[in-house]
Amino acid sequence: MSSRVLALLVLSLLPAASRADAPAASPSPAAPRIAVEPPAFDFGTIKPGGVVQREFVLRNIGRADLVIEEIVSSCNCTAILEETPQTLRPGARTPMRVRLTAPAEAGKLQKSVLIKSNDPAQRTLEVKIEALVVRPRSGS
């Protein structure tokens, strides 16, 4: 009788052990996944009206084609892809240039470039950019 109870106990623990070792299930193993390098960028100190530029790299780290549907910005800047609409195969990458024109007013800028894609886990990827607009000192 006790060997029967022991056998049932061992059998009941096996599925739990295999679930604990299994990786977390993803919505779709063959889905696209967007990534950007760097995920954020600080342009540092710039003059009012100054123009700065940075190249970011968009990557598809998923297992299906990634479609870049739209890129919008919350700032006085532009984000440019070589081709639009852009489809990235798994493992592929493409450059995205972001150009920021500083406003006439001095102060800290914290803005975003939003990349909309078909990544089911992250439909909109936010790239944060910032800069400090400083007026040059007069008389120096």
Residue with the larger pLDDT of the pair 68 and 16: 68
For the whole prediction, is pTM greater than 0.75? no
* Number of domains observed in the structure of the chain: 1
Give the mean model confidence (pLDDT) for residues 47-53: 92
Mean pLDDT, range 57-69, rounded to an integer: 95
Over 70: is that where the pLDDT of 24 sits? no
Assess if residue 27 is contained within a domain.
no
Residue 119 lies in a domain: yes
Q: Is residue 12 included in any domain, yes or no? A: no
- Residue 82 domain flag: yes
The verdict on residue 23 lying in a domain is: no
Residue 69's domain spans which residues? 34-133
- For 27-46, b where at least 16 C-beta lie within 10 A, e where not — what string? eeeeebbbbbeeeebebeeb
* Better-predicted residue by pLDDT, 37 or 22: 37
Does 140 reside within a domain? no
Q: What is the domain-level CATH number for residue 115?
A: 2.60.40.10
What six digits make up the tokens of 136? 């040059």
Distance, CA of 110 to CA of 132 (rounded, Å) = 9
Take residue 45 and report the two structure tokens written for it: 């100190």
- What Rg value do the Cα atoms of the chain yield, rounded? 24
Mean pLDDT of the chain: 79
Q: Is residue 28 part of a domain?
A: no
Structural domain includes residue 6: no
Q: Taking CA 41 as the corner, what is the angle to CA 39 and CA 43, rounded to the nearest 5 degrees?
A: 170
pLDDT computed for residue 14 by the predictor = 38
* pLDDT for position 132: 97
Better-predicted residue by pLDDT, 138 or 25? 138
